[in-house]
Amino acid sequence: MNVIRLIAKEFFGMFVDDGNLALLALVLVAAVLAAVKLLALPPLLGGAVLLVGCLAILLQSVRRAASAAQR
């Protein structure tokens, strides 16, 4: 059982290195999806929000990693 847990953890770690980054990206995608589908946000504007949001999330993640590396 311990081996299976270790394999699953390594497999998950291949795709998700920073859990916060992945979670925030999923929340952003869900929020934009809801805004486009439910609030009739134009899809082009939704794409722009996704682009800016993903870049902001990435910048925040890089800053956090850089500050952790300096410590």
For the entire predicted model, the pTM comes to 0.77
Give me the residue spans of the domains in the chain. Answer: 17-70
- Contact between 37 and 8 under an 8 Å Cβ cutoff? The reply is no
Residue-wise pLDDT tens digits, 3-42: 889 888 887 777 777 788 888 999 999 999 999 999 999 9
Whole-angstrom CA distances from 22 to 3, 28, 45, 58 are 25, 10, 22, 10
